[in-house]
Amino acid sequence: MSIDCASPPRIVVLGAGPAGAAVARALATLGYVVQVVSDWRRFDAVESLSARVIEGLRHANLHRAASCAIGPCTRTTLWNGALQTLNAEFLVERRAFDRALRDDLRSVGVDVIEANVRTLQSSSSGHDLMIDTADGPLSLRADFLVEARGRLAPLMRDATRGPQTLSLLNSWDGQPGRAACAVESLQDGWAWMARLPDGRCYWQMTLDVASAELPQRDELLAFCARMRHAPLAGDFFAGDTDTDARLYARSSTATLCGRTAASNWLRVGDAAMAVDPLAGNGIFQSLSTALQAPAVIHTLLRCPERAPLALRFHQQRIEQLFTRFARAGRDIYALELRWALRPFWETRRIWPDDEPSQSSADFSQLVIERAPVIDGDLIAEAEVVVTPDQPLGVWHLQGVPLAPIVEALRKQPAEQVLKSLDAEQARMVRHWLSAHGYPQPFA
């Protein structure tokens, strides 16, 4: 579905990272006039990607950005004293990645403005922005605003926060070599490290703001150099001279905005929910919140009578993702037993709660409810199957509605219920039912 009015609503997206870019590109494809306002990243950084993230970028039609990935490369983990090496990680240099995201946007006619936001005044009738460009101040007017500036976005007062966490990033120029990355647990935190083929090296330590005995700012580089004497980092950077190391400090506290959308604005990416970096790479988290947003925005603008449904859909999805990532991080922290009583580890092994990340499959616990779903380019309402591990419900499996099947299975044998499906559909549904504890064997 695309809009067909003579003067489509004007949308401004603040931020050109993966979340902002995914939303802006999808909205442009729907026919909206989209402007993206974003300044360049002010520090050198690299991030790790999984194959799933690269596929997500391609699914969002961010092909130039996906092509920036280097790898697969070796990822080594030293956690709870156990050493493990895999060859399934990709690396991306953020400045090249950010340029590619902008190119992906410009390829579909999105106006990308390199600027800082000086002021933003919002009301129910729209948004007035004053931005600082290289050519001077510029005013913009938006009917709808997408906040995608990540952790730099103004934090709302009703936000939920996890343990206060700080990450200290060091980068320096080392010797060219094979791309690789590693993760290492430490007594009072953990470190992530990477090397690019051209020799650029990165090491980032994540620690607790409250319990860490941090030196003064002018002594932080020396502090980081001492921390890099840890076993894995020492081997990883062996032979490199890091005397020219640069430092960048940033918050990595898990944060969930209490309200993530209204009738004419919406938050995505880290601006909506930012989780502990241990729970998964940031690009995956950003895309997870952004891929649903275009349908929500399209519904708010084209079908305002469905606004409560669309807003509930977005809020519930953001909250569910935040909880899932937070519990995943908690479970990884709990695996490190050597320093379980140290403040950093003791706090994180029990936050956000003690609920299991995954529940055992039990067909009798499946519930059918009406809930918001993505139907094409819009948010609609449909009957879904709510499971312990999918609390927001599952509508269909590749076009096969699940609720009628689950309802019918409570009264009829599976062979009778599934006989109307073709062979591939029946196989897919049987697999899903088995994974969710269907008690009877299939013929």
**115-123: strand order across its sheet:** 115-123, 126-133, 136-142
Selection from 25, 51, 52 nearest residue 36 by Cα:
25
Percent of the chain with pLDDT over 90: 80
Distance CA 443, CA 394 (A): 25
pLDDT at 179 over 70: yes
Residue 289 one-letter amino acid: T
User: Which pLDDT tens digit goes with each residue over 229-239?
Assistant: 999 999 999 97
Nearest to 227 by CA among 213, 210, 216: 213
CB atoms closer than 10 angstroms to residue 133: 13
Positive or negative torsion for Cα 391, 395, 396, 398: negative
Return mean pLDDT, the chain.
92
* Side-chain-side CA neighbours of residue 370 (13 Å): 4
Q: What is the pLDDT of residue 88?
A: 82
Tell me what pLDDT residue 3 has. 53
Judged by DSSP in three states, 320 sits in helix
Whole-angstrom distance, CA of residue 374 vs CA of residue 295: 7
**Rounded distance, CA 93 to CA 194, Å?**
11
The model's pLDDT over 400-415, given as tens digits with 9 standing for 90+, comes to 999 999 999 999 988 8
d(CA 370, CA 305): 17
pTM: 0.93
- pLDDT over 80 (residue 295): yes
Q: How far apart are CA 159 and CA 227, in angstroms?
A: 32
Q: How much is the pLDDT for 8?
A: 82
**82-134 pLDDT, tens digit each:** 999 987 889 999 999 999 999 999 999 999 999 999 999 999 999 999 999 99
* 206 DSSP assignment: E
Output the pLDDT for position 362: 87
pLDDT at 4 over 80: no
Q: What local confidence, expressed as pLDDT, does residue 285 receive?
A: 85
Average pLDDT over every residue of 427-437:
92
Three-state SS sequence of 85-133: EEEEEEEEEHHHHHHHHHHHHHCCCCEEECEEEEEEEEECCEEEEEEEE
Is the pLDDT at 315 greater than 60? The verdict is yes
Tokens 């013929």 belong to: 443
pLDDT at 443: 54
Confidence of residue 6 (pLDDT cuts 50, 70, 90): low
Q: Which domains does the chain have, with CATH numbers?
A: 10-70+87-156+255-334 (3.50.50.60), 363-435 (no CATH)
Chain mean position to CA 181: 20
Q: How many helices (H) and strands (E) does the chain have?
A: 13, 25
What is the β-pairing status of strands 165-173 and 200-208?
Answer: antiparallel
Q: Across 231-362, where does the E strand assignment appear?
A: 246-251, 255-256, 261-262, 265-267, 273-274
